[in-house]
Structure 1
Amino acid sequence: MTRFAEVVHHEWIAAAPAQVRAQFADLDHHVQANVHPKLRFEVLERRPDGARFVQEVSLLGILQRDVFERRIAADGSIDDLSVEGFNQGGSLRFRFEPKARDGQAGTEVAITIRLPLPPVIGPVIEPLLRWQVRKEVQAAALEDKFDLEQRGYPAAAPRMVAA
C-alpha cells in the first residue's frame, strides 16, 4: 500500500471566486506571465473539462517531471492527478470558497498536495518532504495571490487549461 505525504494550505485572495478559479485554471497565462518561476508547464492536450499537461519542479534538489490529468468540476474545483512520472499517483486539489475578510469580499483557496513516498525510505524522508512541499506551496499560493491582486488577472472566462 502506497503511503503519501500530504500538505494542506489555505490562502485568502481579494478577488471573486470566478476570477480566482479562472486564473488557477489558465496555464497559458501562468506560462506567459511567469507566475511561478520555479515551475515549468507544457500543455499536451486541452479539453472542455480540463487538460493533460507536464509539470516540472525541483523538490529536495531533485528535478521532478510529471504528466498530470486535470479535471475541472462544474463548481470550478480542480483535481490534478499525476499519471506518469516521478510522483505518479500523487495529486493536487484546488477548492474555492467565497469568503469575506475584514469586510472585503474574496476567495479562500484550499490547496491539498499528496505525494507518494518511496516504500523503504518514505517514513524517513516524510517530515523533510512535507516541510519542503509546505514551503513551495505557500510560495506558489502567494505568487497566484500577487498575480490576481497586484498584476490584475483578467476577469475573462476560464480557458480550461491547467495551472
Structure 2
Amino acid sequence: MTRYAEVRHDEWIAADLGTVRSQFADLEHHIEANVHPKLGLRVLQQTARRARYIQEVTLLGIRQRDVFEREFGADGSMTDTSVEGFNKGGSLHFEFGPETRGDRAGTVVSVTIRLPLPPVVGALIRPLLEGQIRRELLAAVAEDKHDLEVRGYVQRSTARPTLAEAA
C-alpha cells in the first residue's frame, strides 16, 4: 500500500470566482507570465475538460519531472494527477468557493497536494517532505494571488476555453 505525504492550504483571493478558476486553469498564461518561476511547465494537450502537461520542480534538492493529467469536476474543482514520473500517483486538487471578507468579495481556493512516499524510508522523511511541500505550496499560492490581485489576470475570450466556461 502506498503511503502519501499530504498538505492542504486555504487561501482567500480578492477576485471573483470565475476569474480565479480561469487563472488557476490557464496553463498557457502561467507559462507566458512566468507566474511560478521555480516551476517548469509545458502543455502537451488541452481541451475544455482535460489537460496534459509536464511539470518540473526541485523538492529537497531533487529535480522532479512529472506528466500530469488534469480533469475538471462538475463542481468547478480541478484535479491534476501524476501519471508518469517521480511522483506517479500523486495529485494536486483545487476547490474554489466564493467568500466575502469585510466588504470585499473574493474566492477561497483550497489546495490539497498528495505525493507518494518512497516505500522503505517514507515514514521517516514524511515530516521533512510535508514541510517542504507546505513551503512550496505557500509560495505558489502567493504567486497566483499576486498574479490575480496585483498584475490583474484577464480571462481569455479566444478559442481556448477557460475553466469557468468548462464548469
Range class of TM-score, shorter chain: over 0.9
Provide structure 1 residue ranges, at least 5 long, that are not aligned to the other structure: none
Question: Structure 1 vs Structure 2: percent identity of aligned residues?
Answer: 60
- For 2:64, the aligned partner's letter is Q
The answer to whether the 8 A contact 1:22-1:159 is kept is: no
Q: In structure 2, what is the equivalent of residue 39 of structure 1?
A: 39
Tell me how far apart the structure 2 counterparts of residues 108 and 159 of structure 1 sit (CA, whole Å): 22
- For 2:161, the aligned partner's letter is R
Tell me how far apart the structure 2 counterparts of residues 67 and 160 of structure 1 sit (CA, whole Å): 21
SS of residue paired to 1:31: helix
Within a 5 Å distance, the mapping from 1:89-104 to structure 2 comes to 89-104=89-104
CA-CA distance at 1:155 after TM superposition:
3.4
CA-CA distance at 1:156 after TM superposition:
3.7
CA-CA distance at 1:160 after TM superposition:
4.4
Provide structure 2 residue ranges, at least 5 long, that are not aligned to the other structure: none
Within a 5 Å distance, the mapping from 1:111-126 to structure 2 comes to 111-126=111-126
Q: In structure 2, what is the equivalent of residue 149 of structure 1?
A: 149
Matched, 1:135 2:135: yes
SS of residue paired to 2:138: helix
SS of residue paired to 1:38: coil
The answer to whether the 8 A contact 2:30-2:36 is kept is: yes
Tell me how far apart the structure 1 counterparts of residues 120 and 104 of structure 2 sit (CA, whole Å): 48
The answer to whether the 8 A contact 1:72-1:79 is kept is: yes
State the 4+ residue runs in structure 1 displaced beyond 6 angstroms.
Answer: none
Tell me how far apart the structure 2 counterparts of residues 123 and 23 of structure 1 sit (CA, whole Å): 35
Tell me how far apart the structure 1 counterparts of residues 99 and 30 of structure 2 sit (CA, whole Å): 24
- For 1:159, the aligned partner's letter is P
Within a 5 Å distance, the mapping from 1:1-163 to structure 2 comes to 1-156=1-156, 159-160=161-162
Q: How many residues align?
A: 161
SS of residue paired to 2:161: coil
